[in-house]
Amino acid sequence: MTAGNGASEQARLANDRVLRLRRQLEQAERDERAWTAGAAGERLVAEKLEELTARGWRILHDVRWPGRPKANLDHIAVGPGGVIVIDAKNWTGNVEVRSGVLRQNGCPRTRETDSALQQGAAVTALLEPQHRYLVQTWLCMVGQSELQATTTNGVKIQGLGSLTAAVDALPPLLTTDEVETIHSYLKRLLAGSVNPSLLTTADMGRSTPILPGPPHGKPSRGASRSPLHLPGGRTRRVPARAAAPRSSKRRSKPTGCLAVFVRVVLVLVFLSILQNVIQGMGKPTPAPPTQPVPGVVKTQPAEIVQREPVRRCPAASGAPTPFTWPPRPGCRPTCWWPTTGNWSALRPMPESPS
């Protein structure tokens, strides 16, 4: 082994660690600059949005993302023009929208636009059905003040310099009472210490906490009759408070009791059937009934009667007819005559027939 080989190997390993740590440091510095720029951009957008409060808008800053405990929403503006979820972006370089796709230095940034759509969808799920179509999703570009465009997936790209003018240009859709109701409801849900959960298809088959409904405070007479302007010039009366979540909770209790009752009945029926089966297995199988065997009747052999030889009548006007000989005691010898059809007496016969 050449002298100094061990030290050279250790120096090489130390240099590798330095390079690895240097790369990690550079990545950490880039992240730090990005977070710093993002925070600065959010502050600039927040200052711009506060100018809208004098025109009936209510602003929420840095609130919780429903269903995403480790994420946040930069800004939510609630006003006459609807509900706007705004994500601030402080990017450098050439930022443009080409063929409906947001690009930075020529690279597509579809991940950012998809994330903005998810933010808007999470806020939409918290609102009542008649207010959900009012939600819009915007990306506010801090470094591109006059940029105005819309991507193919429906995200509005708005520069910081024209942000307030674009908000003021929205048609009025909500009344003052409706703006206050929606703003206080979202503030109670998203500005608290607990992140609200959302019921999604991933939660099918397991119980999920129900989101708290809109405030149930008693509305004013004017608020309960305020119309909601719909596209096409149509209006609809919208109550200031919704009691649907509360009534759904009340309806869920009888349903739970009925389910418990049905389960108890099924268990009892199953136990009854099981008991009958066990009892049937314990009893011996009865033997089939035996048929009585008829007894054998012993009969005495018939007595053989010795008969006397048959005698013949003498020939007379026809063939002789058999008759019994000797005659029975007290009777005269008789013979059947076919010509007369009766028995008639015979003439005396010799004592010993030949």
pLDDT digits (tens, 9 = 90+) for 188-235: 999 888 888 776 666 666 654 555 555 544 444 444 444 444 443 333
Using the predicted structure, report yes or no on whether residue 168 has a pLDDT greater than 90.
Answer: yes
Task: Write down the H helix ranges in the chain.
Answer: 5-50, 110-124, 129-132, 163-168, 176-190, 221-224, 244-282
Most confident range, picked from 149-153, 279-283, 292-296, 313-317:
149-153
Using the predicted structure, report yes or no on whether residue 28 has a pLDDT greater than 50.
Answer: yes
In percent, how much of the chain has pLDDT > 90?
A: 38
Say what the pLDDT of residue 298 is.
55
- The predicted-structure confidence for 250-259, as pLDDT tens digits, reads as follows 444 445 778 8
For residue 273, which amino acid is it?
I
Determine the Cα–Cα distance for residues 55 and 48; give it in Å rounded to an integer.
13
* 140 C-beta neighbours (distance < 10 Å), count: 28
Say what the pLDDT of residue 123 is.
95
- With beta carbons less than 8 A apart as the criterion, state whether 346 and 334 touch: yes
Regarding pTM above 0.75, the answer is: no
The mean per-residue pLDDT over the stretch 42-66 comes to 93
Domain ranges of the chain: 53-197+212-241
Using the predicted structure, report yes or no on whether residue 129 has a pLDDT greater than 80.
Answer: yes
Say what the pLDDT of residue 10 is.
84
Determine the Cα–Cα distance for residues 45 and 61; give it in Å rounded to an integer.
10
What does the block give as tokens for 42?
């959010």
What does the block give as tokens for 292?
């009585």
For residue 136, which amino acid is it?
Q
What is the chain's mean pLDDT, rounded? 75
Q: Any residues with CB less than 8 A from the CB of 124 and at least 6 apart, and which? A: 132, 135
Say what the pLDDT of residue 248 is.
45
Say what the pLDDT of residue 279 is.
78
- In angstroms, how far apart are the furthest CA atoms of the chain? 175
Q: Which of 77, 66, 183 is nearest to 121 (CA)?
A: 66
- The predicted-structure confidence for 62-76, as pLDDT tens digits, reads as follows 999 998 888 899 999
Q: How far is CA 193 from CA 93, 196, 302, 321, in A?
A: 37, 9, 121, 139
Determine the Cα–Cα distance for residues 310 and 325; give it in Å rounded to an integer.
6
Determine the Cα–Cα distance for residues 240 and 181; give it in Å rounded to an integer.
7
Using the predicted structure, report yes or no on whether residue 102 has a pLDDT greater than 70.
Answer: yes
Number of residues that this document lists for the chain = 354
Going 110 to 112 to 115 to 121, the CA torsion angle's sign is negative
Say what the pLDDT of residue 304 is.
52
What does the block give as tokens for 34?
């990005």
Specify the DSSP class assigned to residue 307. P
The mean per-residue pLDDT over the stretch 82-98 comes to 93
- With beta carbons less than 8 A apart as the criterion, state whether 122 and 110 touch: no
For residue 235, which amino acid is it?
T
